[in-house]
Homo-oligomer: A and B are copies of this chain.
């Protein structure tokens, strides 16, 4: 069994943004020389997500409005967590809706994806450095 571990750092200049990171993950898979295995991609932070969906600008605006409706940022004081001095309780909730991680099959040395699957980093409390872990095991 072989394994490869990589860390990516993102610094998003807005509170909320969805970033397509598929090319970065593809590059790591190619460099791993692993042809059959599993690739874990997870946010190492708890106010951001890794998820797989469509790369369509309108849909991303829909995601933002939907997440804001179900787990609103304002008013700050509706959340006990924000009594600690934070203002990001909503980002912890949004991250639960969108998920922490994706586990992706590697087949014939490539991410084994359907036609529209793309990997996104979902930032819900931006303007700071955050890391994403990529771990591949296989042969």
Contact = CB atoms under 8 A, between A and B. Distances in A.
Interface of A: 1, 3, 5, 36-38, 40, 42-46, 51-54, 56-59, 61-63, 66, 70-71, 79-84, 89, 92-93, 95-105, 107, 112-117, 131, 133, 135, 137-139
A62 B83 CA distance: 11
Given A40-B38, A99-B96, A133-B112, A54 B62 contact: no
A105 to B, nearest CB: 4
A116 B56 contact: no
10 residue pairs, one from A and one from B, having the closest CB atoms: A44-B114, A58-B80, A105-B135, A59-B81, A3-B36, A58-B81, A62-B79, A1-B1, A46-B53, A61-B80
Which residue among A1, A46, A93 has the maximum number of chain B CB atoms within 10 Å of its CB?
A: A46
Main secondary structure of the interface of A (DSSP, over half): mixed
A92 to B, nearest CB: 6
Given A1-B139, A93-B66, A114 B131 contact: yes
A75 to B, nearest CB: 13
A37 B5 contact: no
Contacts of A105: 5, 40, 42, 133, 135
Nearest to A100: B52
